[in-house]
Structure 1
Amino acid sequence: MALQLGDPAPDFEAETTDGRIRFHDWIGDDWAVLFSHPRDFTPVCTTELGAVARLKSEFDRRGVKVAGISVDPIEEHRAWAGDIEETQGHALNFPLIADPDRTIADLYGMIHPNADETSTVRSVFVVGPDKRIKLSLTYPQSTGRNFDEILRAIDSLQLTARYAVATPADWSQGDDVIILPSIPDAEARERFPGGWRALKPYLRLTSQPKA
């Protein structure tokens, strides 16, 4: 059965370009992003890994660890790293996980036989400090991911985990948020002393709570 939101993220041990890790121990008390790429030495993957390396400080600022994974062996990962730095201008600064026997890919459902029977699709899993899956995305091999959007989604996940709010369409950091419909007005007045704009009884907009 495919992993669903709220499911425990399967634990595993694996070799990476930063040494051997046990996934849950590596996450610790942080958030994590696990993202797969189909193959080493492929063009879209090269640009994606360069993009994540460029954005590493943004993930760090949010307390998020990132790790890439494919079904290639560790030797190919290390050889490919030079190409990534040369063509993208950013050296790898996060672990790439080797999964040549497809154990992890099978655990996370990263192989989609109707797309490719041997390579992983572009899966993304955001895992919370409780080691449960908070978000999952699946892209075909031909479509590169937008990691700025993944950061935006993480901002929403972290905010809504702390406060009784949801984020509207196209929300970004600092925009107004929605008070959850399950919060009655009397309780909302205590939680959100700055008030809100009620477009409808179920649609109450308020300023983003401050951390």
Structure 2
Amino acid sequence: MSGLLLGDIFPDFEAETTVGRIKFYEYLGDSWGILFSHPKDYTPVCTTELGRVVRLNSEFSKRNVKLIALSIDCLEDHHGWSKDILAYNCEDYESCALPFPIIADRNRELAVSLGMMDPDVRDENDLPLTARCVFLIGPDKTLKLSLLYPDPTGRSFDEILRVVDSLQLTNMIQVNTPADWKPGDNVIVPSSMSEDEAASLFPAGVHTKELPSGKTYLRFTPQPQIQ
């Protein structure tokens, strides 16, 4: 299993993909990156997942996020299955192209090294398949988010997009985001910040929620704008 922890440098690698051989760091450049795996091509849950990522691709692009998928299937299968993914969204799939590459990891070396394998889900040869993993990598090449879903459960890429919004905001401004936060909602003033500092940094005002404990740690302010 992978020993990657949040904040660790995400490893660079070379891989064969549907757009040719890539070097991961070169592919990302200065962008954020999302590497996500799926168990198997030509399967229903995976088709809906990658179809949703295609629909959200422009939203990820607006946020300077580059996407790349991975499974243990071959390039030929990836290219053929891509048409099914596009057809899931649009009948005119022949005029479209998959907007992100898919890595062909037939020998499972990359998936194993990154801890992507699901030992309980196996192929016809009784070999483990890749789980539904998500790695979100920052421009500094550190791991910002790691998710691992089981085979029967499709991921919410809308939630992953929401996390990107939160991380990009909190990386720029000293705030936290509460449960179910969406862009434009109030944000949380960090507990470590003094009242004077909060008043100086957030001219729109700080509201403190009254709590039975009498403690004043739950403070909200309108979301500041990123310059």
TM-score computed with the length of structure 1 as normaliser: 0.95
Give 1:146 shift.
0.9
**Identity score, percent:** 54
Partner of 2:106: 100
Q: Equivalents in 2 of 1:202, 1:87: separation in Å? A: 47
8 Å CA contact 1:11–1:23 kept in 2: the answer is yes
Matched, 1:168 2:178: yes
Partner AA of 1:121 in structure 2: A
Question: What is the aligned-residue RMSD (CA, Å)?
Answer: 1.3
Partner of 2:217: 202
C-alpha offsets along residues 109-143 of structure 1, whole Å, 9 cap, x if unaligned?
Answer: 00132444520010001100010110111110111
Q: Equivalents in 1 of 2:45, 2:27: separation in Å? A: 27
- Among candidates 137, 140, 150, match of residue 160 of structure 2: 150
Report the 3-state secondary structure (helix = DSSP H, G, I; strand = E; otherwise coil) of the residue aligned with 2:66. Answer: strand
Q: Equivalents in 2 of 1:83, 1:115: separation in Å? A: 23
Partner of 1:17: 18
The total of aligned residue pairs comes to 211
Q: Equivalents in 2 of 1:7, 1:114: separation in Å? A: 27
Partner of 1:7: 8
Q: Equivalents in 2 of 1:159, 1:114: separation in Å? A: 37
Report the 3-state secondary structure (helix = DSSP H, G, I; strand = E; otherwise coil) of the residue aligned with 2:118. Answer: coil
Partner AA of 1:151 in structure 2: L
User: Runs of 4 or more off by more than 3 Å in structure 1?
Assistant: 114-117
Partner of 1:178: 188
Matched, 1:140 2:150: yes
C-alpha offsets along residues 74-124 of structure 1, whole Å, 9 cap, x if unaligned?
Answer: 111011112222233264111111111112101210013244452001000
Report the 3-state secondary structure (helix = DSSP H, G, I; strand = E; otherwise coil) of the residue aligned with 2:21. Answer: strand
Gaps (5+ residues) in structure 2?
210-214
Partner of 1:191: 201
After TM superposition, the structure 1 = structure 2 runs for residues 48-87 of structure 1, keeping only pairs within 5 Å, are: 48-87=49-88
Q: Equivalents in 2 of 1:73, 1:23: separation in Å? A: 19
Partner of 2:212: none
Q: Equivalents in 2 of 1:17, 1:115: separation in Å? A: 25
8 Å CA contact 1:39–1:45 kept in 2: the answer is yes
TM-score computed with the length of structure 2 as normaliser: 0.89
